[in-house]
Amino acid sequence: MEVIKAGDIDNDRFDRSKRLGWFDIEKVRETRVLVVGAGALGNEVCKDLVLSGFRNITLVDMDYVVMSNLNRCIFFSEEDARKRRYKAEVVAEKLRNIDSSVNIKAIVERIENLPDDFIPSHDIVMGCLDNIIARLHVNAHSYYNRVPYIDGATHGLIGKVQVIIPPETSCLECGMNATHNKIRSMRYSCTGSNISFFEPKIAADINTTSIVSAVQVQEALKVVHERWDNTIKNIFYYDGNRNFSEVMELDINPACPHHFDR
């Protein structure tokens, strides 16, 4: 007979998660997660991943911390901004404070500069990017290599999450329009480095960021557990102005280069 001592359940970090019934902590721990972008969304996504039990995380970002990051990035401090520390390295350091068992690797580099076999060396990709060209790069490599990609984006109080499960769903490029194509090479940068086009900064809201990132990680858990009936198949849209959300359909575009085999 197993003897259960008073207070034992409180010693299990993931006891409450396991009460969901379908939650498998070993599956979560073994999953190799790639997070691209360590800004506002990246901070929140990484926090939620670690608190959800993910242990194998690679974080890619080439930028450093600035003061304007501090109102929506939980892991950055004034000292980090003064020292111009790299975002990926700061987030990795702070995540280890949350859970010392986390295996997180910080890579200070553009995702486009990493080898072709880098993205497919992971089981799932979380997109927390602020520019189109990097998003399309991640989308292309994820879709081709059949790696699930969960893309998040915000603009002020508006946010979206697109869950891409190749080859079953539409991908990021399926929803591209003429405007996107026109600005795909323009980069919104927090640091001002490597800018080829200047665009005024867009509004950002930590509440919207928190909601979008939470949905991203919730969907990652569904993907890991293969809860396909509950997974967002298209785009989750959130409007904080009206506290309104809906899932919008995005059909596969037969002209999309990632669906030529269809």
pLDDT, one tens digit per residue, over 56-96 is 999 999 999 999 999 999 999 999 999 999 999 999 999 99
Q: Cα(105)–Cα(95) distance, rounded to whole angstroms?
A: 11
Question: In angstroms, rounded to a whole number, what is the distance separating the alpha carbons of residues 128 and 41?
Answer: 5
> How far, CA to CA in Å, does 12 sit from each of 17, 24, 31?
10, 14, 20
- Say if residue 237's pLDDT is above 60: yes
Can you give the pLDDT at residue 185? Answer: 46
* Residue 182 CA: distances (Å) to CA of 61, 88, 131, 178: 24, 29, 12, 6
Give CA–CA dist 157/203, Å, rounded: 8
| CA–CA distance, 195 with 187 (Å, rounded to integer) | 6
Q: What is the pLDDT of residue 196?
A: 46
Beta strand pairing call for 149-155 and 56-60: unpaired
pTM for the full model? Answer: 0.89
Percent of the residues in the chain that have a pLDDT greater than 70, as a whole number: 86
**Stretch 11-31: mean pLDDT, rounded?**
93
Candidate from 124-138, 197-211, 216-230 with smallest mean pLDDT: 197-211
Mean pLDDT over each residue of the chain, to the nearest integer: 89
Over residues 168-189, the pLDDT tens digits come to 999 999 988 644 555 554 544 4
Poorest-confidence range of 59-63, 71-75, 144-148, 253-257?
253-257
Quote the pLDDT of residue 89. 98
Q: How many CB atoms neighbour CB 161 within 10 A?
A: 26
The fold of the 25-259 domain, in CATH, is Rossmann fold (3.40.50)
Please count the CA atoms within 13 angstroms of the CA of 131 that sit on its side-chain side: 25
Decide if pLDDT at 111 tops 90: yes
pLDDT at 153: 96
Give percent of the chain with pLDDT exceeding 90: 76
Backbone φ and ψ of 131, nearest 5°: -145, 150
